[in-house]
Structure 1
């Protein structure tokens, strides 16, 4: 059999039937969710395929509740979730971004709202906002705090890097490159006026997030710029 035959292609790329975990990384950019009469929350528009009896119910916003003013301010699909329930295999992805699965054990993490791909129904989500309007202008518009026990899946452009935060070594990040951080940290928004002349393409680098205390911050090698709905 030729290594370029259709049969070889199918064998190389087909789903692995041995994988049965609730959340399974089928490919680096593709999450498989094995539903057994369960419900799961996924990012709206992220479903790329499913096998079995799965029903979908679109939710207006993240279930934490926001109010009409914030609903108008939050951009695009990043704030919307789809509830999937039933029995079968569900495949979700987001623009070819890499997927990371985390299992929280009575823990919490904060994630950039645009980087939440899926989470178990047992996980509570709460939206937190950067207080300064500057945070909106830089694209770091909203974050989601995920808490409890269960699986979550987040996405990154490329391979992420985790920076450790200690009391004697605070970490500064670009809001557009910041993916997630430990739930005990509360970032401050800092303005660096000297960067303003270097903006060029309209990035948010004149604003920085400062993380202090004990914890970690996950950054990606990409500045993700978000639009704000009018």
Structure 2
């Protein structure tokens, strides 16, 4: 069975009439101008949408405003799309719930829909004990590293990484991998570095983006990042 492909849309004032589909998905499913798809939500609401090509890009146009109205989607809320075939997509509106926490960052509450989403992608990844969900903050963007909590580092990453410094292949599904260094600091945290600097901008990651990190070991150490 081929794994489904996922992408996420955050509703803004700029995409209430149409929204762009990621190029990798458009190419992978050979989507065409004028093609109609059935969009199904968690509660079995069905909306037919139409694709339009403009400037070499594919957009969801007809049906998108109706979907927003029918689901009650609000500005700054997210929709997680699971592409099942060339003619059908599953959509989970309001999939992410966030709350402000004390400085320096934010805590993330996982909604039932997001937990189900993680279960969906888990079956297509190599087994590991845990996912690490984090919001990309300005420090991660300015410095050539992203660090993981001490608890997660010691409880999960340390089970598959024995060295103080290891090479690791990092990728977003559907994109080429980047070789980075996974370093075990004196604070007993693991840090992903030496290659992270250009990775976010090359893969559409910015401040506020929610990323799910999944570490696994096959013939080499790897990390898969699912971007929401």
Q: State TM-score, norm by structure 2.
A: 0.26
Higher RCO, 1 vs 2 (CA within 8 Å, ≥6 residues apart): 1
Structure 1 or 2: more helix by fraction: 2
TM-score under structure 1 length normalisation: 0.26
